[in-house]
Amino acid sequence: MKRRLLLFAASLQVLSSEGATHGPICQWHDDPCTTMAVHWIESQVEGLEGPGSWESSGGTFAGSENNLLALRRGIDFPSRLGGKALAVVEIARGISMRVYLDGKEVGRSSSDGAMVEFPVPPDFEGKRALLGILLEGTAVGLGNKVAGPRVTLCHGGNNVSLCDRTTVWNYSRDLPLNPLWKQVPPLERLLAPGSEFLFAYRKVGDSGWHGAKLLSRPFGPTAHRVHSVDLKNLLPDSRYGFMILWRGQVVGSWFFETAPSSFREGMSFVTGGDMYHTREMLDGMNRRAGTEAPLFALLGGDLAYANGVDGNRWLEWIESWTECAISPRGTLIPMIPVIGNHEVRGAAYRPTNAPPRAAAPFFYSLFLGMEDGSKFVVDFGDYMTVIALDSGHTQNVAPQTPWLREALEERRAFPYKFVCYHRPAWGTGVKGDAQEIQRAWCPLFEQHGVDAVFENDHHTYKRTHPLTAGKRDEVRGVVYLGDGAWGVRTRDVGASVKQQRPFLAHAESANHLIKVVLGEDQILYEAITAAGRRIDVSERKVRP
């Protein structure tokens, strides 16, 4: 959903800037029965300054080491301009000045003049225009204090003050300036700081709306901002409606549902990774995810394929989820996101030498609950646990093992246990198997009776037999499903792959998501294409 920001819409030239709100998306990182995190991104037009390069102040301004200082603000002209209207801009002596009105230079002065006059045409009557002033000279050098300019309008025999020495201006010493600085600034926003978004929510059927505290931060290294609410104390198994407002206008309204606090026959979730080569592929499978009406989506890495550098791919990925992953009941599908190599600069898979989390700036600035990295647990009441691990993208594999052991021991009594990470331990051979994972984690999955492990990354479909130490074990073995072909071009699986890799029960080259349906006695796993075709269906008894 997009919104258009009109900056200085009332000025002679309607200067507009394409800004947009992307999302919202829902995430579970805490108790899914009583919480919901909601995120959206406010994008900035590429080429405009990011937050931080301009500040607002009145009175005096500190000089810069470049001997340059830029000022700008909106000027409201009166509804009638009498006679030949002239605007006069004055600054202290010793400073030269260039003056711009709506981006056009209207005059300049040398340092001994310190005054610029320019005519204001009648068509500026009742309009707001952007006045930009570039000050130059040693008097605006480092260590100097520069008094603000005075702006006077002379018309119809009267002198009207438009700005005095205390007027608040946007100012910047952050040089070189963006060439658009004097044309389309985010001036209104900087002159009225504070969040312009509001979030309101209520349980469907309730009359009153609740507000929620907004958490805002930069989106990775971009000028875009992530805004979130982290809702707590919700009721389980309940439908909520929420609205996002921007400057008092409704941006949109959506619904989500919380998880039931106890097991319910037939509850389901979907899982898969490697989501976004093209929008068509992403949108198609996201629609399938929504249509299947799962409780949530467990997304196993390689989400936006941004490689830690392309923030705009994340905007597209978010938009697709918001628009397509909608249940037949009209609710947003909450996600549990897991990290993959394409979340990281250089697409790193380094199981013993992982880069720091700073290498995945979008992933970590967008999602909440990852203070300890991308290993975390989401527990559904006391019936289901979902454990996420980082398969060597921002954490090494082996050091996560003690944490995994403790997490599984604490959840010994949970009847349904699932694990998800990105790089397969038992794949289809299109890349090597992650032996570090086979050594460090797989024995724990076996020991603790994990029902299924969801792997990704290989752009194929696979389901293993129940495995113990890589060997078929129908009684105690762990099933591995994957391997990451949500919305990417698939890789070929060799015709003899099952002979070469006898641990595989099914392998093929097909886009899919995996739907997991929980029954009291059995768990159903279905691999489903975007069109809804079941390409592989299997059942596994719930462990006693």
Binding site for Fe ion (CB under 5 A): 302, 340-341, 457
Residue 465: HSE in the Cβ half-sphere, 13 Å Cα cutoff: 16
Smaller CB separation from Fe ion, 136 or 302: 302
Smaller CB separation from Fe ion, 202 or 431: 431
Smaller CB separation from Fe ion, 350 or 405: 350
Nearest by Cα to 298 from 398, 404, 201, 376: 376
Q: What angle do CA 199, 321, 299 make, to 5 degrees?
A: 110
The token pair that represents 462 in the structure block: 């696979």
Instruction: Give the whole-angstrom CA distance, residue 517 versus residue 306.
Output: 31
Rounded to a whole number of angstroms, the minimum distance from the CB of residue 458 to Fe ion is 8
Question: What b/e string do you get for 173-184 counting C-beta neighbours within 10 Å, with b at 16 or more?
Answer: bbeebbeebbbb
Rounded to a whole number of angstroms, the minimum distance from the CB of residue 97 to Fe ion is 55
Instruction: Give the whole-angstrom CA distance, residue 376 versus residue 442.
Output: 17
Give me the helix-helix angle, 311-324 and 279-291, nearest 10°: 40
Smaller CB separation from Fe ion, 302 or 526: 302
Rounded to a whole number of angstroms, the minimum distance from the CB of residue 28 to Fe ion is 23
Rounded to a whole number of angstroms, the minimum distance from the CB of residue 358 to Fe ion is 20
Rounded to a whole number of angstroms, the minimum distance from the CB of residue 340 to Fe ion is 5
Rounded to a whole number of angstroms, the minimum distance from the CB of residue 302 to Fe ion is 4
Residue 397: HSE in the Cβ half-sphere, 13 Å Cα cutoff: 21
Smaller CB separation from Fe ion, 44 or 395: 395
Rounded to a whole number of angstroms, the minimum distance from the CB of residue 274 to Fe ion is 6
End-to-end CA distance of the chain: 47
Query: Please, which residues have CB within 8 angstroms of residue 498's CB and are 6 or more apart in sequence?
Result: 504, 507
Rounded to a whole number of angstroms, the minimum distance from the CB of residue 53 to Fe ion is 35
Label the pairing between strands 384-388 and 376-380. Answer: antiparallel
Rounded to a whole number of angstroms, the minimum distance from the CB of residue 442 to Fe ion is 19
Q: Is residue 404 helix, strand or coil? A: helix
Instruction: Give the whole-angstrom CA distance, residue 172 versus residue 183.
Output: 14
Smaller CB separation from Fe ion, 11 or 341: 341
Smaller CB separation from Fe ion, 292 or 302: 302
Are 460 and 501 contacting, i.e. CB atoms less than 8 angstroms apart?
A: no
Smaller CB separation from Fe ion, 318 or 485: 485
Residue at shortest CB range from Fe ion: 457
Nearest by Cα to 24 from 6, 9, 37: 37
DSSP 255-284: EEEPPPSS--TT-EEEEE----SSHHHHHH
Smaller CB separation from Fe ion, 254 or 486: 486
